[in-house]
Structure 1
Amino acid sequence: MKVVIIDDEMAMHLIMKRMLAKVVGVEVVAIFQETTTAFAYLTDHHADLIFIDISMPKESGLEFAQRLRENGRQMKLVFVTSHKEYALAAFDVYAFDYIVKPVNQERLHHTVQRTLSEMRLEKESAEQKPSSTSSIRVMFNCLGGMEIRTVQNVIVKWKTSKSAELFGYLLMHKGRLVSRARIIEDMFGEMPQKNSEIYLNTTVYQLRKLLDNYGLKGNLYSDSNYYALDFNQIGVDSLSFEEGCKQMAVLDETNIEQALELQELYKGELFGERAFPWAWSEVERISLMYTSFTQRLCSALLIKGDSQTAIRLLMKLAAHNELEEETIKLLMKAMALQKNKDALTERYEQFTGTLHKEFGISPSLEVTTLYSQLLSELDQ
């Protein structure tokens, strides 16, 4: 896998290069301190993955990413930054991932391995003939919960909670081989080594038996040291949602209905209330993707004049994170579009009160200016 690093700090060049050297299958092919030279290089050279800082002189990492997308370049982008507040903006330009400095070796390794897995799946998908949905034997719904359903919509009962967890764990690795030692550490780390080995063997047996009921026994690969799950003939809502978000780079009247259907796939956070520690970064990544996609969808709905649908979706977002500024701004615009001055004022005052109560701060100038502007327009 060919990797490019773009960061204005020379120290980060050294740190990233050393950390990536520890990951098998990675070749750092170019390093840049600014985006102009990097863009020229990427015009004539291939890269599978780009690590780029957001805060850089002249052109930010986000602006650079936007320029790449506008030129039809679809290489995977990972933003590396000291600022968490840029996360949503990163997903607006279809970031593959978002890593907060200081970079952790394990976090970096996870990102690279996920990239390798997706590259392999993309290659296999391109080589295979398109198959009809009738080839799907079971559906795994992991957004908002963890359930398996047959194509006849019958819920399949998990053998044990650990077999469900193993399924989710292997799903997160997207077909990549995972070592027994890694699974034991992540899933059975609180047990003595001997007991954890036995529990893993039992859990694998239970999951394979469940899959065998639907002719999918061979989908769970294992040897003496590694495991992997092949999702051929298994539909997964989170994978469908992520792929749909990537395909709808532009939202307008031509695809709003399709986008609304896609938005409904997100029933809640990955794996629902099962807060697996090994899944935290993936839970956050998909949640940010959902927020970014829904905000773009609501912007398109407001342009269309459908404030009612926009408000419904935005209230759902606000319930998840009542302090997300872009969501609040869109809500205020939607309420102004409905000429509902009372609702607009109530939403702004509620946002202001929560900020003051929780953090002792006032809304940003951008929010207060928008509120004043919308009120003025309604008073005319």
Structure 2
Amino acid sequence: MRAHLDRSGPVGITTIPGAFLLVCFIVMSFPLAAYAQGTSAASISGLVTDASGAVLPGVTVEASSPVLIEKVRSAVTDERGEYRIVELRPGTYTVAFTLGGFASFKREALELPPSFNATVNAQLRLGTIEENVTVTGASPLVDTQTVTRQTVLPKALLDAVPSAKTLLSYYALTPALQSPTNAQDVGGSKGETSSRASLHGSKQGDTKMMLDGMSFNWFEGEGSGRTFFVNALTAQEIVVDTPTGSTSAEYTSNGVVLNVIPREGGNRFSGTIFASGTNHNLQADNMSDALKNAGAITNSGTRRVYDLNAVFAGPIVADKLWFMTAHRRWGRQERVANLFHDLVLNDPFFTPADGTNGRP
């Protein structure tokens, strides 16, 4: 893109998009520590003591994971021996504790789901810096600081289930989650559509949909609809918050909250290609004599549903700049019983597809 600047007059119109793209590239070139801000971010906190139980200030705590573009995020224990590492992407982490004069301590294979606070305490014993204590078979972590109830759908499950890659089809993977009867997706027969959900008696109008903690519901009516359709194939995880009366105040409602955690690039190239489709030839016809006698000419049904989707990700600069790109073409066409297309609009007569004159 060419940028032009006329010094004798106002800035040329081509300067604005060129400068905007330049600023975006510069911003993206830096590993942002706060990239995972929002309700989907996880955290690690805890207390560090010595063998006698006395707190240890000044201990360096490092959380490392392949999901972090900067690889390692660190903190230092305060005068009470406490530390907290916030805004972490969901993934597998290794937590290391080091302090001069003490043997280092390491906790491996720490799984962090979204919106989870992991408590990892450590006890350092006196020793040389070359000594290491590694824990790999610890008991599962329990979040003692959060009272919300969640259902997490990991990418392994989303890829394995033979269903459409839409948010509506993922409703069926959440226990007790109910969608309207006119929005039931059976084997991908419905296609992409906007639908609300209810769980444990919550209002469907209180449904909230988020992309990495950012709401994309519209503000008309009850504020639960959407005109922006997230590409669900790009999801690393999908988190469904259960309305229990203890939902985060950030949601502004006590209904079902569906949070799509998007994939990111990495230091290796990867990709996913998905295609699905159907048409009316694969659908049964339930036009009975009783319906015909009642005046029905056609019945409701699916004419066609298609979804072509591709996601690619990888490094531009290793450990510094990653990319993830997704491309999708989808659509659906349905037929409503006894409803026909009018070739000539805004006139008092119905003109069917064959061009003959119909009834007024």
TM-score range, shorter chain: under 0.3
Normalised by the length of structure 2, the TM-score is 0.23
Normalised by the length of structure 1, the TM-score is 0.23
Bigger proportion of residues as strand? 2
Larger radius of gyration: 2
